[in-house]
Structure 1
Amino acid sequence: MKSIAVIDSGSGGLTVANRLFERLPGERIIYVGDHGNCPYGNKSEQEIKEAVFRVIRFLGRFELKMLVVACNTATALMLDELKEMLDFPVIGVIEPGAEMAAGATQNRRIGVIATRRTAESRMYEKTIKEKLPGAAVFEQACPKLVDYLENDETLETEMLAALEEYLAPLRSSEADTLVMGCTHYPLAEKQIRKVWGGRMNLVDPALGTAERVREALQKSGGLSAVNRENHLFFTTGEVDEFSEKVKRWTPVVRPVVLPLEN
């Protein structure tokens, strides 16, 4: 049976995998977290591409029906390149997130929090404006957040202080919609809402991404109806540490977590 691969720079892509578990219970997921190179958002374009290509070569040993690039930075830098090189569908997270934001805003003012590389690419701004001409898009790089969210020892006060710094200019922009432009950020949804303080449409691109995967498989006739539980999780980092995150952050009770040599 063919599987769906989900790749990310670390554990954040589990937020996308969770949506796939919800909407596609018949599919087998193979997840790769490149923790040894996390975060991608603070690396050079060449370093990111080399890291992603290593993961893609590893996935070549599996029979896949689809690749989900659950990393906004990798999506921004190389989604088209991956689509050209692979012989099965590749879906990223930026377009679904942009589509959700364009549909949610009332005042056409949209904020985006992202890694430095994703923010610099301006891909969210470009894609949102394609879907909602005339929209004003305000992107904010949040270089500390991924490290904070990957580190179980991060203090709540540290997280809130960083979010105060990053969200202040977006609140001033009068945006009524905020896109979590990194798959790690939904892990801090409670803190983001607390710091923002008022009404705001908070967009999690994982929702739209999972729906796009479901629609694509349904259209191609590749949707599996058999309940599968033999998901596989790989990491280029510490296996035990990642295994604990999978247990805490996903519904998989006894995950199979294996090392992938970095």
Structure 2
Amino acid sequence: MKSIAVIDSGSGGLTVANKLFDRLPGERIIYVGDHGNCPYGNKTEKEIREAVYGVIRFLGRFELKLLVVACNTATALMLDDIRKMLDFPVIGVIEPGAEMAAGATRNGKVGVIATRRTAESHMYQKMITDKLPGVSVFEQACPKLVGFLESDENREAEIASELELNLAPLRAADVDTLVMGCTHYPLAENQILKSWGAGVSLIDPARGTAERAYEALKEKGELSGGTPEEHLFYTTGDAVEFSEKVKKWTPILRPVVRPVTD
């Protein structure tokens, strides 16, 4: 059975996997979290490329029909390069999120919170303005947020402080639509809404990404029916710790979690 692969710098891509479970219930998902190199957003471009290429080499042992690059940073830096390497569809998360934001804004002012690397790439700005000329896009890096969300400790106070600091300029810019430009950020959706207050459309690109995956498989005639026996979860970090995150953040109560091996 051919599978869908989902790759991310850590556990954040589980938010994308959840949308794939909902939209494509007949598909087997193979998830790879590169926890050993997380977070990507604070690394150099060379380090990110080496890490992602390593994950893709590992996936070469599986029979795949589609790859979802769930990491915004990897999508921004190297989506086109990854597509050239593979002979099946590769979907990133930025364009679906940009499309959703362009369709949601009422006042033409869109905010994007992201890792430093994603913000510096300005890919959200480019894609949103391509889809809605004249829109103003304000990108804000939140460099500490991924680390707080990946932590096994209770970091709610730090998360609240980081959000208050980084959302303030976007509120001041009067944005009415806010893109969560990192797959980890939906894990803090309630805190984001609490920090922002009323009156913002919060965009989770995972929803649009799952829809694109569905359309790509439908076009190729490769949609699977039935129910897959299991989904597989791999990590370059601690498999026990990742297993607990999978159980906490997905509907999979008894996940098959394994370490990435050469």
Query: Aligned pair 1:158/2:150, yes or no?
Result: no
Number of residue pairs the alignment of both structures matches:
262
Deviation at 1:96, TM superposition (A): 0.1
CA contact (8 A) 2:10 2:38 kept: yes
Q: For the residues of structure 2 that align with 1:134 and 1:245, how far apart are their CA atoms?
A: 41
Query: Aligned pair 1:168/2:175, yes or no?
Result: no
- Percent identity between matched residues is 73
Residue 204 of structure 2 corresponds to 204
C-alpha offsets along residues 52-90 of structure 1, whole Å, 9 cap, x if unaligned?
Answer: 000000000000000000000000000000111111110
| Matched position secondary structure for 1:233 | strand
Deviation at 1:174, TM superposition (A): 0.2
C-alpha offsets along residues 181-225 of structure 1, whole Å, 9 cap, x if unaligned?
Answer: 000000000000011012100000000000000011111101001
Query: Aligned pair 1:186/2:186, yes or no?
Result: yes
Deviation at 1:46, TM superposition (A): 0.3
C-alpha offsets along residues 124-172 of structure 1, whole Å, 9 cap, x if unaligned?
Answer: 0000000000000000000000000000213321110110001000000
Q: For the residues of structure 1 that align with 2:153 and 2:50, how far apart are their CA atoms?
A: 30
Farther off after superposition, 176-185 or 189-198:
189-198
Residue 79 of structure 1 corresponds to 79
Q: For the residues of structure 2 that align with 1:152 and 1:258, how far apart are their CA atoms?
A: 19
Query: Aligned pair 1:214/2:223, yes or no?
Result: no
What TM-score, normalized to structure 2? 0.99
CA contact (8 A) 2:19 2:210 kept: yes
Q: For the residues of structure 2 that align with 1:118 and 1:229, how far apart are their CA atoms?
A: 36
- Structure 2 unmatched ranges of 5 or more: none
Q: For the residues of structure 2 that align with 1:141 and 1:43, how far apart are their CA atoms?
A: 14
**Over 2 Å off, 4+ runs:** none
Over aligned residues, Cα RMSD in angstroms? 0.8
Farther off after superposition, 89-98 or 192-201:
192-201
Q: For the residues of structure 1 that align with 2:70 and 2:187, how far apart are their CA atoms?
A: 14
Q: For the residues of structure 2 that align with 1:203 and 1:163, how far apart are their CA atoms?
A: 16
Which amino acid counterpart does residue 170 of structure 2 have in structure 1?
L
| Matched position secondary structure for 1:66 | strand
Deviation at 1:51, TM superposition (A): 0.1
Q: For the residues of structure 1 that align with 2:64 and 2:219, how far apart are their CA atoms?
A: 17
Residue 102 of structure 2 corresponds to 102
Q: For the residues of structure 1 that align with 2:229 and 2:167, how far apart are their CA atoms?
A: 39
Q: For the residues of structure 2 that align with 1:261 and 1:166, how far apart are their CA atoms?
A: 38
Deviation at 1:253, TM superposition (A): 1.8
Q: For the residues of structure 1 that align with 2:101 and 2:23, how far apart are their CA atoms?
A: 21
Residue 53 of structure 1 corresponds to 53
Which amino acid counterpart does residue 23 of structure 1 have in structure 2?
R
- Structure 1 unmatched ranges of 5 or more: none
| Matched position secondary structure for 2:251 | coil
Q: For the residues of structure 1 that align with 2:149 and 2:83, how far apart are their CA atoms?
A: 30
| Matched position secondary structure for 2:234 | strand
CA contact (8 A) 2:149 2:155 kept: no
Which amino acid counterpart does residue 201 of structure 1 have in structure 2?
S
What TM-score, normalized to structure 1? 0.99
| Matched position secondary structure for 1:186 | helix
| Matched position secondary structure for 1:4 | strand
